[in-house]
Structure 1
Amino acid sequence: MKGLKKLALASAITMTSVGAFAMEAIDDASMAATTGQDGITISVILPDFTPTAVTTTTPYAAGALLSGLQTAGMTNSAGGTITGYKGIAINEVRIHDDDGLGTLGVSATANSGALVIGGGGASDKTEVYTNQASPLVIAIDSVGDGDSVTAGNQAMLNVKITTPTLRIKTGAIYVANSNAAPANFDENGVASAGSAEVNGSGITDKTAAILSGMVMTLGVTTLNVQLGAAEAQGHMIVVNTSMTGGLSIDNMSINDNAGAISGGSIFVGQQKIVDAGGTDLTVVASVDVGSRSTNATLVAAGLQDIVNGMVVGIGQLGTAAGGVDIAMNNVRLGDSNMGDLGDVQILGLNLNGSELVIAGH
C-alpha cells in the first residue's frame, strides 16, 4: 500500500508540472512559428445574385466566365434561368463638384454640378458578380520592422486582397445639377456673404446620359496594401494580375446630347485588351498618395507640384517589351440606324512606366 501511495504522489507531481507547462504564456511570434495561424484572414462570401440581362456583340468562348449572356439574356442554352451567381448591386453613385467651372461670382459656369453613375432604374444599377465558388479573401498581417535597415519605427500593416474572376456592369454616366455650395456662395455660384459651405446631398436635372453603361470582365486579381512607417513593396498599393482572356469592355457608347448637331454616339461593341501577341492580359500597377512637402527627391525633375495627389503607376500593362494589343469591334458613329464602320486594331501600345496623377482643382 505504501508503494502505491508513493506512485500516486509521483504521478500527481508529474501531472502538476505538465499542467503548469500547458498554461505557460506564448508570444505571437512563437505561436506563428508553431501553428502557422498568425495574422487575420477574412473571407467575404458574396450573397446569391441574379445579374441584369446583358447583350454583347461578340460571343465569349465556350466555358468562359459568364458565357451564354451574349445573346440569350439570362437564360442558358437549354432555356432555363442561369443560376450560381454571387454579387452585389449599387443603385447610384454621385460625385459632387462644389464650384463648377470658372470663377465663382463671375463665370456663368461656376456653379455646382454632379457626375452620377446609375440610378436610372433597375437595369441601370452598377453590378459586380461572379459565377466562381472562390470568396473574396482579405489577409491582414502586422510587421514590426518593414525594412530591417532604417533605424527607428518601421512598423507596417500588410493587407492582401484576392478576388475571384469578376464581371462588372456599370450604370450609365450622367451629369446633373447639385445642391452643393462653397462657403460664401450659393449653389448657383452667386455671392452670399457669411453663408456656410453646403455638402452635396441632392441632385436635379439628371436627364442625359453622356456615357452608356459598360460591361467588363476581370480575371483573378491580387491587391496588396501596405500602411505604416514602411512600405516593403515600395508602394502603398500594388496590383498584380493576369486576366485570362484579356480585359473585355462591352457596349461602350459616348453620347452627344447637345448642340446644333447631336443625338448620335461613338459606339464600340466590344473592346478587347490583351498582351501584345497574346491572349491574356498582364497588369502590374501601383498606387501612392504624394505630397509636395514630402517629394523633395523629385525637385530636379520639377515634379513636386505635379505629384501631389493619388499617383497610379503603370509598372507593366501587357508584355514588358511589347505592351498591349487593343481590338475595337463593331465601331459605329451616329445613331443605332447607322451601319458599323468596321473593326479597329491598335497593336503594340506600350504604356509601361507611365504615371497618372489624380487630384482636385
Structure 2
Amino acid sequence: MKLFAKLALVSAVAISANAMAMEKMDDSALSATTGQDGISIGLGISAVSIDHLYVHDGDGLATDAKIPGTATTIIGGTGKAGSIDVQGVQLTANAASLLTSHNLADITIDTDAGGGKPFLNVVAAVSGLNIAIGKINVTDATADGTTGFYTAGSNSATILNGLNLTTGVTTANIQLGNTPQGAMIKLDGVMQGGLTISNISLHDASAAGGGDIVLGKIKLNDTGSADMALNADVAVTTGGLKVTALKSSSDMYIQSIKLGSDTAKSIGDVQISGLKVFNGAAGTTPGAVITITGH
C-alpha cells in the first residue's frame, strides 16, 4: 500500500508539472500569434427585459420652487418624494444591423501606462438594437425607515404611452482614470441606417386634458446619407455629466403627427433638412452641450 501511495504521489506531481509546462507553452504561443495582451469579452445575449426601471426623487419639487431666472413660483410643489417609472423595457437585436460575431456587444479592455498618466481603455461595439418602452409613469414614493431605500407608490399618472427605438451597430471608446482622448466616452463611427424612433405617444393626464400627442415615426440621419455619424463626447466634470453631441449636419423626418389620440387624423408630416447646432459664447463650436446635475 505504501509503495502504491508513493507511485500515485509521484505520478500526480509529474502530471501537474507537465500541465504547468503545457499552460506556459500555450500562453507563449498565443502571445506570439496575436501580439496582444488584454481582455476580450463577448456578450452573447439575445434579449433583455425589464419590468420596471425606477428613478427616485427623494425631496420632490419644493413648495417655493421658482422658474429659473424669475420670481415666478411653480404651482403644485409639495416637497415630497416621487418617482419616474419606466415600464416594459425590451431590448432585442436588430436583425438588419448585427455585429459579425452576432453578440449583443464585443468589448476589448487594455491598461496603458499613458506616459506617467495611466488609464484603462475599453473599446465597445454594440449590435443594432430594437428598444421598446411600454409606458412611462410618474408616481409617489416612500422611504424605508431602516435602509432609506425608496419604493414607488400606487398613485401614478402616465406621461408617455409608449416608445420604440431602432439603432444600427454602434461603437464607442471608453477611457477611465486619465483620458488622453479628451473625454471619458468617445462615440466615433457610424450608426448604420440612422436612428428611428417610432410609436411615440405623449399623454396629458390632467383633469383638463386626457388626450395624447402621437408621432408615428422620427427618422434621424446625416444630411445626404442614410446613416448617422456617431461623433459625441461624454465627460464627467466637477459640475456634472457633460454630453457633447449633434456635431454634424442632420436631417429629421417626423411622420404622421396626431393631436388628441392615436385614432385622430394626422395633421401632416414635418421634415427638417440640414439641421446644424452650435454652442459656446461665440456660437461657432459645432454640437450641443448637455450638462446633467442634481439639485
Coarse TM-score class (shorter-chain normalised): 0.7 to 0.9
Give TM-score, length-normalised by structure 2: 0.77
Of Structure 1 and Structure 2, the greater strand share is in: 2
Change beyond 3 A, Cα 1:143–1:29: farther
Whether 1:88 aligns to 2:24 is: no
SS at match of 1:242: strand
Name the amino acid aligned to 2:62: G
The CA deviation at 1:30 is 12
Among 179, 183, 187, the alignment partner of 2:142 is 179
Name the amino acid aligned to 2:125: T
Aligned to 1:314: 245
> Does the 8 Å contact 2:171/2:187 carry over to 1?
yes
Change beyond 3 A, Cα 1:32–1:233: farther
SS at match of 1:212: strand
Whether 1:113 aligns to 2:82 is: yes
**Per-residue deviation, residues 164-187 of structure 1 (Å, max 9, x unmatched):** 111111231100010038xxxxxx
**Per-residue deviation, residues 43-93 of structure 1 (Å, max 9, x unmatched):** 1101xxxxxxxxxxxxxxxxxxxxxxxxxxxxxxxxxxxxxxx21111110
Aligned to 1:245: 193
> Does the 8 Å contact 1:158/1:225 carry over to 2?
yes
Among 220, 244, 264, the alignment partner of 1:338 is 264
Report which stretch shifted further, 269-278 or 129-138.
129-138
Query: Structure 2 CA distance, aligned partners of 1:90 and 1:231?
Result: 33
Aligned to 1:273: 220
Identity %: 35
Give TM-score, length-normalised by structure 1: 0.63
Change beyond 3 A, Cα 1:99–1:285: same
Aligned to 1:227: 176
SS at match of 1:233: coil
Query: Structure 2 CA distance, aligned partners of 1:31 and 1:88?
Result: 34
**Per-residue deviation, residues 105-142 of structure 1 (Å, max 9, x unmatched):** xx852111000100xxxxxx111111346211111101
Query: Structure 2 CA distance, aligned partners of 1:167 and 1:290?
Result: 31
Aligned to 1:324: 250
**Per-residue deviation, residues 204-234 of structure 1 (Å, max 9, x unmatched):** 213x320122111111111211111x21211
> Does the 8 Å contact 1:219/1:241 carry over to 2?
no
> Does the 8 Å contact 1:97/1:113 carry over to 2?
yes
Name the amino acid aligned to 1:338: A
Name the amino acid aligned to 1:96: H
Whether 1:289 aligns to 2:239 is: no
Query: Structure 2 CA distance, aligned partners of 1:355 and 1:334?
Result: 33
> Does the 8 Å contact 2:60/2:77 carry over to 1?
no
SS at match of 2:134: coil
Aligned to 1:16: none
Kindly tell me the number of residue pairs found equivalent between the two proteins: 249
SS at match of 2:181: coil
> Does the 8 Å contact 2:253/2:271 carry over to 1?
yes
**Per-residue deviation, residues 216-255 of structure 1 (Å, max 9, x unmatched):** 1111111211111x21211111112312222110111111
The structure number with the bigger radius of gyration is 1
Query: Structure 2 CA distance, aligned partners of 1:32 and 1:231?
Result: 27
> Does the 8 Å contact 1:178/1:200 carry over to 2?
yes
Aligned to 1:100: 60
SS at match of 1:213: strand
Q: Which runs of 5+ in 2 are unaligned?
A: 1-20, 65-75, 278-285
> Does the 8 Å contact 1:176/1:203 carry over to 2?
yes
The CA deviation at 1:32 is 5.0
Aligned to 1:198: 148
Q: Which runs of 5+ in 1 are unaligned?
A: 1-21, 47-85, 119-124, 182-194, 292-307
